Amino acid sequence: MAIDRSLSSDAADGRYGSAPPRPPFIEHVAYARVGLLGNPSDVYFGRTISFSLGNFSASVRLQPSDDLVIQPHPVHDLVRFDSIDHLVNRLQNEGYYGGVRLLMSICKVFYKYCIDNKIDLKAGNFTLSYDTNIPRQTGLSGSSAIVCAALSCLLDFYKVRHLVKVEVRPNLILSAEMELGIVAGLQDRVAQVYGGLVYMDFCKEHMDSQGYGVYSPMDISVLPPLHLIYAENPSDSGKVHSTVRKRWLDGDMFIILSMEEVAKIALEGRRALLEKDYTKLAELMNRNFDLRRSMFGDDALGSLNIKMVEVARSVGAASKFTGSGGAVIAFCPNGPSQAEQLENVCREAGFVVQPAIVVPSFLNEEDLKTLSHS
């Protein structure tokens, strides 16, 4: 989603003063994402289905300026505190890092990609600023949302959107995060670049030959009503992949076969969604989490994360992680009365619960022209 407009208030346009018109700014929004089925097989040449979650978003604004400035956020990049208690409390709840490093990293990755691919960039500087309401450490891809929105701003500022394929953009976002040591896969970035509901196949042959997967947008109308559940003080979603990844690379057959089954869940889930077989969808969501739990173990997943799933299941709802922990997506196959029960038990357990808002795809005509499989 993009906004490209001039700030033409009376004061800004000089109608009642001498201030010159401000140059137009570019603003893009990227939404949180939910891994519905198949995660975390995206980093194991698997398949996933994900969608853009409209409940939360990040925005980045690019304003032309004399110098290139990365503007700290007044809350998320706080460096001035009332006391040492304030500082420590802030670090315990929000962590050490805000979004400045993300903006810097995508600028570097974007610039290097353009140089390597002989894409000329016009002269000119800008100021980048951001805002976000995506809860931290909830497995809703808050960091990549900031990077995704910033990349869109850069594409428009330099007028190179038509030269950077849509399929490649998730790789650029992931590269920017990997520069900072963030552990992740491609599915989150694909969902945020494409918007809407996307089926993704990360088969090794295509990944090796093209560097990205096969991404197939789906009509969001095939989704039933879903609920988002999250904890206000969640676990760290960035450390969950580590042990399983090593075992997979070492040839552990239990992990390899389990991850293949997780990938198959997305394939079966696509069929279930297209046929609106929601009984099957519920089974697959539960199976997806059960497989994750068997591979990662309870210590890695965290007791609070497991409790969210179990609370949802206590009223018969299907449930699984949206990502690597911190939030859960739930489906109530028995309808509104079951959804009401879900809301009650989640609130009693101290969790936040709300209907999941699915954002349609927001690729524009220029984006669609770059697609290999449009």
Q: Annotated catalytic sites, by residue?
A: 188
Q: Residue type for 59, please?
A: S
Instruction: Confirm if 316 and 334 have CB atoms less than 8 A apart.
Output: yes
CA dist list (Å): 316 to 18, 135, 334, 336, 339:
66, 27, 8, 13, 10
Instruction: Confirm if 349 and 307 have CB atoms less than 8 A apart.
Output: yes
- Residue 113: count other Cβ atoms within 10 Å of its Cβ: 18
Residues 6+ apart with CB under 8 A from 130: 58, 59, 60, 61, 71, 73, 99, 103, 146, 149, 150
Residues 6+ apart with CB under 8 A from 17: 11
Instruction: Confirm if 310 and 289 have CB atoms less than 8 A apart.
Output: no
CA dist list (Å): 81 to 14, 91, 96, 139, 271:
37, 11, 14, 28, 53
Instruction: Confirm if 32 and 144 have CB atoms less than 8 A apart.
Output: no
